[in-house]
Structure 1
């Protein structure tokens, strides 16, 4: 079965499971704080599907519809997290969002350490940008969401060509700005933990930068 799969499929699958890992950490945080969320989770799973099983990709994927299977997993993961965060904000308030922010920040630091411990090194802002995109989930590769607009030895600037995430937040009555704020926290923690002399900067709503 793995003969039908290429590196890009495993790359995307790892990004999906990374995103689902954040969802799992949010659930654990809620339970550790004593919130009764079983009904929340059951309702979300019923509406948007359950997280991916912890099995090798080749043991699960529909090889007759690889693209469709991966897109379905993205839709399910994004919808569940949007629903979970939106529910938490409505039921608990802004303190919940602050707790989720801490999860994203700690995840960024941990992912940077793991990336470096795997033998990777970052020699340019462009390499840091590539590392970021080995984690964050921005649709399918064919969506081409991020466009590099400046690239030099000192910095790299990229622009989002479309809002691919808003659709999931709109369905659950949430605010997609929460998603972007949380992800920016992850990128900042990740980049600045990869190299202490690198900085992440949000230039505008759709433009971001990694610089020396």
Structure 2
């Protein structure tokens, strides 16, 4: 990656900010349900960097280590979310449905907002829109590989899981991450263009199709 800020760095940072917005919604849910938020927050911030709080990238990034700074923010954001979700589900497993509703609502909101700026009509365009939000490591990690793409469907596979270590570190289940993210993606895709739907095909393979 370059030593200078470019479009790809702002693109990655916007994905981090999106992820942190989900974290805020999760914390709001915990507060509204009288969970021990301050205790959880103290534990989380003792292990991970604090959120960026959507400050301008050029004001906060370490320009001498752009790649490392962005990577550390991704790891911190994923670690905090894993910690919050795991702590909430330890209070009550039934809260998972509520968390999935939070992810669905945020997915719908992002889909509507994106549609107003850019209305995709092809599966590949839907996939590219999705990747403007989903955190899947750094571009150099090349996690997602497109297996097939035509005018009716795009199919891709995740070649590795970058998320498990974050969930293992907090004694959580990475399946919760995938369940929540898939709820978000499904809502996002439908809100973006209801001619399409998202499907998890198994074996880390997914599709968006008409």
The structural deviation recorded for 1:33 is 2.0
What residue is the counterpart of 1:73 in the other structure?
73
1:196–1:54 CA distance, 2 compared to 1 (3 A) = closer
- 1:125 partnered with 2:132: no
Q: How does 1:32-111 map onto structure 2 within 5 Å?
A: 32-91=32-91, 93-111=92-110
Stretch deviating more after TM superposition (44-53 or 68-77): 44-53
* Contact 2:17–2:53 (Cα < 8 Å) also in 1: no
What residue is the counterpart of 1:23 in the other structure?
23
Give the unaligned 5+ runs of structure 1.
none
The structural deviation recorded for 1:29 is 1.0
2:201 to 177, 200, 203: 203
Measure, in 2, the Cα distance between the counterparts of 1:162 and 1:131: 21
The structural deviation recorded for 1:32 is 1.5
* Contact 2:144–2:157 (Cα < 8 Å) also in 1: yes
The structural deviation recorded for 1:78 is 0.4
Measure, in 2, the Cα distance between the counterparts of 1:50 and 1:205: 34
Measure, in 2, the Cα distance between the counterparts of 1:53 and 1:192: 29
Measure, in 2, the Cα distance between the counterparts of 1:66 and 1:73: 11
Q: TM-score, structure 2 length as denominator? A: 0.96
Stretch deviating more after TM superposition (15-24 or 33-42): 33-42
1:155 to 153, 156, 161: 153
The structural deviation recorded for 1:53 is 3.2
- 4+ residue segments displaced more than 4 Å: none
Q: TM-score, structure 1 length as denominator? A: 0.95
The structural deviation recorded for 1:184 is 0.6
Measure, in 2, the Cα distance between the counterparts of 1:15 and 1:40: 24
Listed one character per residue, the Cα deviations across residues 147-201 of structure 1 (whole Å, up to 9, x for unaligned) are: 0001010100000000011111111111001101110111100001111111111
What residue is the counterpart of 1:115 in the other structure?
114
Give the unaligned 5+ runs of structure 2.
none
The structural deviation recorded for 1:108 is 0.6
